[in-house]
Amino acid sequence: MTTLQFTKQIPVSKLRQFTYPIDSNDAKLTYRQKIEGQLKLNTAHLDSLDYPGSKVTFDINQSLIAKQDPNNRIFYFDIDNCLYKKSTHIQDYMQLAIINYLIHEVGLNEKHAMEINSSYYKKYGLVIKGLVQLHHVDALEYNRMVDDSLPLQDLLTQDIKLRNFLMQLRSTCKFNKFWLFTNAYKTHALRVIRILGIADLFDGITYCDYSKDDASQFIAKPDPRFFEKAKLQSGLTDWNHAWFADDSWINLNEALRLGINHVVNVNELTTTPPLINTLVQLNDTLDDQKDVLVDTITVDSSMSLSSMPYSDESTTTVEDVQESHELPENAFVVNDLTQLKEVVPELFN
């Protein structure tokens, strides 16, 4: 049995919006109506944001190439499970959204949808890449109905602590650029940083471009070509002048192999809760219990970016991780990004 585990208990009221009838004749119509309704709510919320950092100030044109400057010192930041905590459950909701899309739009049954979700991720690195190649799915429409439909405003809030941390790090003048580096499409990435209130603190972004006609061009981490794309777009000339924060050790290991000077693993360590085994069981739970908290849903743990070397159930602290695994001197592990100030204080001197 493969499982996707929630790191904390989640109120049923939040999960209810991610369940749809599967066997009814109007299942697809109901699914699409709920998606469209959520998209309208998401757009209205984004348009209403007016606090500092809620507006993007950098150019997101992927065709632009920055001037290659040997003096550039750049800090690259992953977004999901890195700029926010894993316990927000956004990745968990993402998996539910993918499964629902495969059921209602691709026409798979639940079992097959879960298998496809797992196998395509392992084979192609991105589920959407396999769907475009083998099922002729429109990548941008998939992104709209999956990533863009997530109610991020219910899961994320303005993060003043993170904003202050990033501003303080910039004030050290040790880096002349902060660069976003994500496997997500731009719409999801920009929503996250706008809601967090940090969208004005970055100089650019390298994202997976779903608008490409050829799915083979959907390159993403840990593909070294994607790293080179980020390097070119940001204007870096030497990986030795870079830092990189990510929640995936696969991505960080590739960064180290390429010669990135310092890497930071953002790994919110938690214990493993009991399970709910299928989407059907989730539906039953939601029908029978209005106030319970759901711990887990079975989807696929291989999809979790943080299920890399340090996901041992017995590991509960950063210190445990560092003691039980040999880390290179230029690799650091933190529970959340703001802890970097404690782990590498000299970076802020």
Q: What is d(CA 256, CA 241) in angstroms, rounded to the nearest whole number? A: 12
Please, which residues have CB within 8 angstroms of residue 41's CB and are 6 or more apart in sequence? 151, 153
What is residue 43's DSSP assignment?
H
Task: Tell which wins on pLDDT, 319 or 77.
Answer: 77
Please compute the mean of the pLDDT values over residues 17-33 and round it to a whole number: 74
User: Are β-strands 204-206 and 262-266 bridged in parallel, bridged antiparallel, or unpaired?
Assistant: unpaired
The pLDDT assigned to 279 comes to 47
**Residue whose pair of structure tokens reads 């109905």 in the numeric block:** 145
Tell me how far CA of residue 220 lies from CA of 78, 193, 256, 314, in angstroms. Answer: 12, 19, 16, 31
Residue 35, pLDDT above cutoff 70: yes
The pLDDT assigned to 245 comes to 98
Q: In order of start, what are the domains of the chain with their CATH numbers?
A: 4-348 (3.40.50.1000)
User: Are β-strands 4-11 and 293-297 bridged in parallel, bridged antiparallel, or unpaired?
Assistant: antiparallel
Please, which residues have CB within 8 angstroms of residue 72's CB and are 6 or more apart in sequence? 176, 177, 234, 235, 236, 237, 241
The pLDDT assigned to 290 comes to 42
Run of H or E residues at 180 = strand 177-181
The pLDDT assigned to 172 comes to 97
The pLDDT assigned to 123 comes to 86
Angle between helices 224-234 and 249-258 (to 10 degrees): 70
Give the pLDDT band of residue 162 (cuts 50, 70, 90): very high
The pLDDT assigned to 106 comes to 94
Give the pLDDT band of residue 21 (cuts 50, 70, 90): low
Residue 158, pLDDT above cutoff 90: yes
Percent of the chain topping pLDDT 70 = 77
The pLDDT assigned to 14 comes to 52
How does pLDDT run across 246-280, given as a tens digit for each residue? 999 999 999 999 999 899 999 987 443 433 344 44
Q: What is d(CA 337, CA 244) in angstroms, rounded to the nearest whole number? A: 11
* Residue 11, SS3 per DSSP: strand
Please compute the mean of the pLDDT values over residues 152-159 and round it to a whole number: 97
User: Are β-strands 177-181 and 74-77 bridged in parallel, bridged antiparallel, or unpaired?
Assistant: parallel
Give the pLDDT band of residue 349 (cuts 50, 70, 90): confident
Give the pLDDT band of residue 345 (cuts 50, 70, 90): very high
Q: What is d(CA 152, CA 100) in angstroms, rounded to the nearest whole number? A: 17
Give the pLDDT band of residue 126 (cuts 50, 70, 90): confident
Q: Are 203 and 234 in contact (CB under 8 A)?
A: yes
Of 208-217, 223-232, 233-242, 254-263, least confident by mean pLDDT is: 208-217
Q: Is 153 exposed, middle or buried (0-12, 13-18, 19+ CB in 10 A)?
A: middle
Q: What is d(CA 176, CA 256) in angstroms, rounded to the nearest whole number? A: 21
Q: What is d(CA 73, CA 232) in angstroms, rounded to the nearest whole number? A: 13
Please compute the mean of the pLDDT values over residues 322-347 and round it to a whole number: 86
Instruction: Pick left, alpha or beta for residue 330 (phi over 0 → left; psi -120 to 50 → alpha; otherwise beta).
Output: alpha
Please compute the mean of the pLDDT values over residues 107-133 and round it to a whole number: 89
